Amino acid sequence: MSSQVLPLDAETKAAESPEHHREELRLWLRLLTCSTMIEGEIRRRLRERFDVTLPRFDLMAQLDKAPDGMTLSDLSRRMMVSNGNLTGLVERLAVSGHLDRRVSATDRRAQIISLTEAGRAEFRAMAAAHETWIAELFGDLSAKEQKDLMRLLARTKFSARNAMTGETV
Amino acid sequence: MSSQVLPLDAETKAAESPEHHREELRLWLRLLTCSTMIEGEIRRRLRERFDVTLPRFDLMAQLDKAPDGMTLSDLSRRMMVSNGNLTGLVERLAVSGHLDRRVSATDRRAQIISLTEAGRAEFRAMAAAHETWIAELFGDLSAKEQKDLMRLLARTKFSARNAMTGETV
DNA sequence: CTGATTTATTTTAAGCTTAAAACATTTTCG
DNA sequence: CGAAAATGTTTTAAGCTTAAAATAAATCAG
């Protein structure tokens, strides 16, 4: 999988030489650092200026994009969090009046979750600030750098998805 | 902060036109998706194959790099998690015999945390598998793509750090 | 030296998160 | 149809995480 093409006999291969992948590791740690730093700062600002947690913001962001509402399973898939996690999150936001739950007309197991008017208004205000913050945090990157990074992250997502579904290369 | 240089009068500026930054937002969401996907997969595999949580693995990884041990504050800064969080994490790993705590000789407030021999051995085994997994997850990226991504993430880290410390541009 | 500030850590309360098991309903198919 | 599998959700137990307040020790300033 890359590296040298010198002929290694089966013996050598079977010996399972360590095969270091330090560069990939460094790449992953840097990606994680960026993500953690930015997420932490956004979390801090959301709490400070709007007294809201990041998970609640994220949940409302998903619902804002779905005017007709979504089921818990849809939310779970989109947000990449466990089902059980959402049960509690939705419960708390329903109690605080930010969202509505109604049983699906076609499937009595499922609930359709949607933002209330108040919830939507509150989210829109937060979203505007959030967008500004993100632009500020990425502010030093040129348009070209942003475009390149976007492409490389798309490739990364594809690569990871690939490695997760099936083939061990 | 980029965009056009057409002369906007103060009036127009004061009107605070929405100024959309959707591209930065998309970039951030993609970064977050990559990070979340990979982290989730690593978490899953660590649990499945080694019955260990990701936070514990991360803590041991820091300690493995510091043979003489580190204080909780050092760990807190390096891992970018709260101090209180570490208290519990360290407590659980000390109980399970993975690490040692001793009071600092020069500062009676501080503890020096270090891996036990057993802890180190266990970590090394996990780290080897971890490195392979990461290489696999990033496997579709060419060497050049990896290098480019590395550079752009360094720029991103710098940009975010910049925006966090002081100047609101 | 002593009071004020800083630094290191723990505690507390609340909420987030997961995996696994349990439960409820729908869909599939023999 | 009716059993089996699949899907949608909740519950449970454990652990993670944070912010804020509390405690303790070291350092600084006068």
The answer to whether A24 and A55 are in contact (CB under 8 A) is no
Query: End-to-end alpha-carbon separation of chain B, Å?
Result: 8
Q: What DSSP state is assigned to residue A140?
A: T
Whether A152 is in a domain gets the answer yes
pLDDT digits (tens, 9 = 90+) for A44-96: 999 999 999 999 999 999 999 999 999 999 999 999 999 999 999 999 999 99
3-class SS of residue B49: helix
Whether A109 is in a domain gets the answer yes
Interface of A with B in 38-67 (CB under 8 A): 38-41
Whether the per-residue pLDDT at B140 is higher than 80: the answer is: yes
Predicted local distance difference test score (pLDDT) of residue A164? 86
Question: Residue A136 and residue B163: Cβ atoms within 8 Å?
Answer: yes
Q: In this structure, how many other beta carbons lie within 10 angstroms of the beta carbon of residue A73? A: 13
* A77: chain B residues, CB-CB within 8 Å: none
CATH number for A115: 1.10.10.10
* B91 in reach of chain A (CB within 8 A): no
Whether A165 is in a domain gets the answer no
Query: What does residue B112 show for φ and ψ, rounded to 5 degrees?
Result: -100, 120
Any idea what the Cα angle at residue B49 is, between residues B58 and B72, rounded to 5°? Answer: 15
| Number of domains chain A contains | 1
Whether the per-residue pLDDT at B15 is higher than 80: the answer is: no
Q: Which residues contact A153 (CB under 8 A, 6 or more apart)?
A: B27, B30, B31, B33, B34, B149
3-class SS of residue A99: strand
Largest CA distance in chain A: 69
pLDDT above 90 as % of chain A: 81
Any idea what the Cα angle at residue A70 is, between residues A118 and A110, rounded to 5°? Answer: 115
pLDDT digits (tens, 9 = 90+) for B18-54: 677 889 999 999 999 999 999 999 999 999 999 999 9
The answer to whether the Cα torsion of B142, B143, B147, B148 is positive or negative is negative
Whether B29 is in a domain gets the answer no
User: What is the span of the domain harbouring residue B86?
Assistant: 54-152
Tokens found for residue A1: 């999988």
pLDDT digits (tens, 9 = 90+) for B71-123: 999 999 999 999 999 999 999 999 999 999 999 999 999 999 999 999 999 99
Strand C, nucleotides < 7 Å from a protein CB: these are 7-13, 15-21, 24-27
Whether B28 is in a domain gets the answer no
Whether B129 is in a domain gets the answer yes
Look-up: residue for tokens 């570490």?
B86
Mean pLDDT throughout A2-8?
43
Whether A68 is in a domain gets the answer yes
Whether A126 is in a domain gets the answer yes
